[in-house]
Structure 1
Amino acid sequence: MIAAGELERENALLLAIIQATSEGPGVEPVAAAVARLIADATTTDACFVHVLDDAGRSLTLAGATPPFDVAGQVRLPLGTGVTGWVASHRTPAVIVEHKEADPRYQPIPALRGSEFTSMASVPMESDLAGLVGVLNVHTRLRRQFTERDVRLLTMIGRLVAGAVHQARLHRQLAGRERAHERFVEQVVAAQEAERRRLAGDIHDGISQRLVSLGYHLDAADRTVTDDPGYAAAQIVLARQLADLTLDEARAAIGGLRPPVLDDLGLAGGLASLARTTPDLEMVLDLADHRLPEHIEVALYRIAQEALQNVQKHAGATSTRLTFGVEDGTGRLEIRDDGVGFDTGPGQAQGYGLVGMAERAELIGGSLRIRSRPGSGTSVQVAVPLGGAATGC
């Protein structure tokens, strides 16, 4: 039977944790506050809160009791150590003594495991959030953690899981808002740059040729009676200038929207793009579907950027370009057999990759890049269409 005083202390602890987790959206402040509360209430000597990263591949220490000031500096791949084992199996683990003899244990110098004898580790998960991390408590003296201890820690883990999930959603939303703001700034800057380029092209090319065209036509008009041969020569020059001006106008328009999309559609445009990519064996699997104009332009530009990256960086010999519509979703993939690269956390992303992701997001889609050194690269775009696609 549970003593009334003990039950009251547990309820007070849970209320304190609920209050701590509701005070702010930051993952690290929540983890640090909860770690102190748990250590005090469970009379343990240390508490560590490890949070699963967004990719679900590793755990990062987000909060700990003093004097441990190493939040963000300890990272464990899923499955590594007792903490990684608990995350992988989603089941608690208790070690009463002789941690070093446990095959799951892996010493982490920054956490000074040799100073502690017993530990209990529980997953932080809930039905809504799923697994968000692992909660560990340690004692210097030998302690036999009871089922009740583990049940209390598991209940705390569920509360913290909800708070961490909300904090993570808030962080992701804030990150998307910042990314959107940066993208809007880039779009405005790109529009201004494009306007300046077009103005320069029109002034330096099209306008000058039209002025010259007018001179030749005036000369032909003045001499058509007195010197028909000279007038005819002026008309030939005027016709040549008109053709050059038309070519420059088409090139300027093509910079805004590829004319090939109007003439051939997205499948034809992608095939044309593939033909203009030298030194690569190109395998095409392109369904003849028409999409809304802005989606076709975005997918074409993503493919264009991806193929340029293949040429510049991949060292590939062959590339497969695939486009189709399935279950109301447009899918584009550019896959090469090149050198690949590391896409893991902390790896720098070039402007081209960022730009492709932002183009995909702007049309309501998502971009995924799968690559590793020596195994080529796959750029995949998925765009929900909502019935907007039409077959041709």
Structure 2
Amino acid sequence: MPPSPELATLTALARALSRPADLADSLQAALGTVSEALGLETGWVWLLDEETAAPRLAATRALPAALREHPEAMHGDCYCLSTFRGGDLRGAANVNVVWCSRLSKLVDDSTHLRCHASVPLAAGERRLGMLNVASADWRVLSEDELSLLTTAGALVSLAVERSRLESARAWGLAAEERNRLAREIHDTIAQSLAALTMQLEAADARAEAQGDRRLGEAVSRALALARSTLDEARRSVLDLRAAPLEGRSLPRAIEQLAAEMRETSVPPLLIQVSTNGFDADGGDLPAAVEVGLYRIAQQALANAARHAEARRVSVLIAREPGQVRLCLEDDGIGFDPAAVPPGRFGLIGMRERARLLGGTLAVGSRAGGGAAIQVVVPLGSAS
């Protein structure tokens, strides 16, 4: 006895989603299978960002020209996504195109999508995205068709969740490899350079005691190079370890960074870290915000140590209503922000990190008056 059309569709869908392919390719194949089974021409899949919940168009099928040729029409929120986020859309449902902020704008009768249905993608209570199908025909999906669409949505949700878990696992393996490299640099290259530096310092002292000027100059150059290379090796160790924050919260990670820089900075740099608005374990900021602010703090502290000739730096990390704020102030030589080339001191990189987080970065300084950096990043309701 041949399988029912519904079972055949779900079997084909499961096969398409179980292939070892890129998630985008799997979603594209799944969209085709579902659309064809329901006799619909058009479809698209939204995925919600894990941190910000912002919608991203992950796959499309046969979009009409009014949507395909105007990408801005497929950006931002809409009736379906708003209903889904509000918890009012639990299974597949027909959607009146008049209510749809995207489809109601299509005025060309030849491409007007008149049939529209949506199914939420979720893993437990976590919202993953939405699968939409549409057609130019005047029809609504039957209860059986909506049931098929709901089951298809569950299979697609499993594929999305599996892909994200695999990405998280790969990220974890990469973090382990970064930590392994950091340990290797610290235990071999950095230790050897430290020993070489000590030997050169002893040779420099002997050359000075013997009054051998030529030898002293050669040893001094070698010593400067060894110290510089050792500093770079130590910074590489910090950079490699910093990417995943080693499982620590942002305040704890910056406190550890400050402690490590106190030990490695020459001359010594006194760094005071204070926090405000965090709970005992440092809070639960989104990972992207933690990593971005950590990198900004890392660059700013490196600037204070390398360029500012600072002796003291104060760092404040404050969690405030709807935002998190990072402030760093040093007592260094300062600079004129208007006269500094754009790429100097990593300012472009710091500003770009703040921008990607939806935040702002402000720099204040004057010659002889130290420098101050303030970063403000908004926090969504998910955080």
- Please say if residues 124 and 160 of structure 1, whose CA atoms lie closer than 8 Å, have aligned partners that are also in contact: yes
User: Equivalents in 1 of 2:146, 2:187: separation in Å?
Assistant: 59
Normalising by structure 1, we get a TM-score of 0.51
TM-fit CA distance, 1:42: 0.5
Partner of 1:261: none
- Counterpart of 1:95? 95
1:163 aligns to 2:159 (yes or no): yes
Match of 1:82 in 2: 79
Contact map agreement 1:81 1:104 (CA 8 A) in 2: yes
Which of these residues, 298, 315, 322, is aligned with residue 305 of structure 1?
298
Matched, 1:336 2:327: yes
SS at match of 2:44: strand
Distance in 2, Cα, partners of 1:26 & 1:49: 15
Question: How much does 1:308 deviate?
Answer: 0.9
1:202-217 maps to which residues of 2 (within 5 A)?
Answer: 202-209=198-205
Change in CA separation of 1:175 and 1:141 when aligned onto 2, cut-off 3 Å? same
Pick aligned residue for 1:373 from 360, 364, 369 = 360
- Partner Cα separation in structure 1 for residue 79 and residue 62 of structure 2: 21
1:39 matched to which residue of 2? 35
Q: Which has the larger radius of gyration?
A: 1
Structure 1 residues 373 and 270, CA gap change in structure 2 (3 angstroms): same
Aligned to 2:6: 10
1:220-240 Cα deviation digits (max 9, x unpaired): xxxxxxxxxxxxxxxxxxxxx
Q: Which has the higher contact order (CA 8 A, sep 6+)?
A: 2
Give deviations 1:165-199, integer Å, cap 9, x for gaps.
Answer: 10121123224434544554466456665346424
Name the CA distance, whole Å, in 2 between partners of 1:176 and 1:113: 50
- Contact persistence 2:111–2:136 (CA under 8 A): no
Contact 1:307–1:334 at 8 Å: present in 2 too?
no
Partner of residue 126, structure 1: 123
What root-mean-square deviation, in Å, do the aligned CA atoms of Structure 1 and Structure 2 show?
5.4
Shift of 1:113: 11
Question: Following TM superposition, by how much is the alpha carbon of 1:267 offset from its aligned partner in structure 2, in angstroms?
Answer: 12
Cα separation, 1, equivalents of 2:73 and 2:167: 19
Letter in 2 for 1:32: Q
Cα deviation digits, residues 24-60 of structure 1 (max 9, x gap): 2531122011111101110111121222233242222
Q: Return the alpha-carbon distance in structure 2 between the equivalents of residues 199 and 16 of structure 1.
A: 64
The answer to whether 1:153 aligns with 2:144 is: no
Deviations 1:354-377 (A, max 9, x none): xxxxxxxxxxxxxxx977115843
Say if 2:262 and 2:270, in contact at 8 Å, map to a contact too. Answer: no
State the 1:310 CA deviation. 8.3
Unaligned runs of 5+ residues in structure 2 are 212-226, 235-254, 277-293, 319-323, 330-347, 363-373, 378-383
2:15 equivalent to 1:23 = no
Deviates more, 1:185-194 or 1:171-180: 185-194
Identity of aligned residues (%): 16
Structure 1: gaps spanning 5 or more residues = 217-248, 257-264, 287-300, 323-332, 339-347, 354-368, 380-392
